[in-house]
């Protein structure tokens, strides 16, 4: 993916009250940061932020955290933030460090249109690889819940297999999500793929 540089991105990042600069300090303390005991939903790879921002606005009784590793992408998301959105926080970080940031605090993980890493030698980089699924184990507060959408059939089949092998029960599996679901909050990628008539694959995975 080619990333456009965002003018004044350092200033945008430094001046955003919703961007957490040292997230490791809040491990086991995220509810204190939000000042409530509401569920915490985490989007790994939030992109330009449309999905998580709209969810936070529509569901004020859920706390949302979005992570993204690219400065310019995070800055673009920040520019979209409304002035008052207390149930949302953003983190600029690499997902490989996610188990250093959260511990038994997350209720649901969203994986929306993650990089498919199509070459076999790259499979360990996929967010549903065994490496990442093992990291997620310590994140969840109670039930382990993962919701995933992708336009990549290969990644989807791989994820069905890896989640099943990890002990997840798979529900709401769809090979053409927009045919069976309406009133969907879409990411930027999903909107683009939907307009192009591409299939969107979806699953909801859960285990105790």
Specify whether the CB–CB gap between 39 and 63 falls below 8 A. yes
Q: Which of 37, 97, 115, 176 is catalytic?
A: 115
Nearest to 13 by CA among 59, 65, 63, 79: 79
Is residue 168 packed enough to be buried (19+ CB in 10 Å), middle (13-18) or exposed (0-12)? buried
- Chain mean position to CA 19: 15
115 is catalytic: yes
Tell whether the torsion through CA atoms of 122, 123, 127 and 133 is positive or negative.
negative
Specify whether the CB–CB gap between 65 and 26 falls below 8 A. no
Q: Write the DSSP symbol of residue 107.
A: S
Report the catalytic residues. Answer: 115
């Amino acid at each position: 993916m080619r990333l456009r540089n965002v003018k004044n991105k350092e200033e945008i990042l430094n001046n955003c009250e919703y961007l957490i600069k040292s997230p490791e300090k809040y491990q086991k303390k995220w509810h204190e940061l939000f000042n409530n005991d509401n569920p915490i939903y985490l989007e790994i790879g939030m992109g330009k932020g449309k999905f998580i921002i709209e969810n936070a606005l529509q569901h004020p009784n859920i706390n949302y955290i979005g992570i993204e590793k690219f400065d310019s992408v995070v800055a673009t998301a920040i520019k979209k933030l409304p002035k008052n959105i207390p149930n949302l926080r953003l983190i600029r970080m690499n997902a490989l460090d996610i188990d250093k940031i959260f511990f038994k605090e997350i209720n649901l993980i969203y994986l929306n249109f993650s990089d498919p890493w199509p070459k076999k030698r790259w499979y360990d980089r996929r967010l549903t690889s065994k490496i990442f699924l093992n990291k997620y184990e310590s994140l969840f507060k109670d039930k382990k819940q993962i919701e995933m959408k992708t336009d990549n059939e290969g990644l989807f089949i791989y994820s069905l297999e890896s989640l099943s092998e990890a002990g997840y029960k798979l529900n709401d599996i769809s090979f053409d999500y927009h045919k069976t679901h309406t009133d969907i909050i879409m990411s930027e990628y999903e909107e683009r793929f939907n307009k192009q008539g591409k299939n969107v694959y979806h699953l909801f995975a859960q285990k105790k």
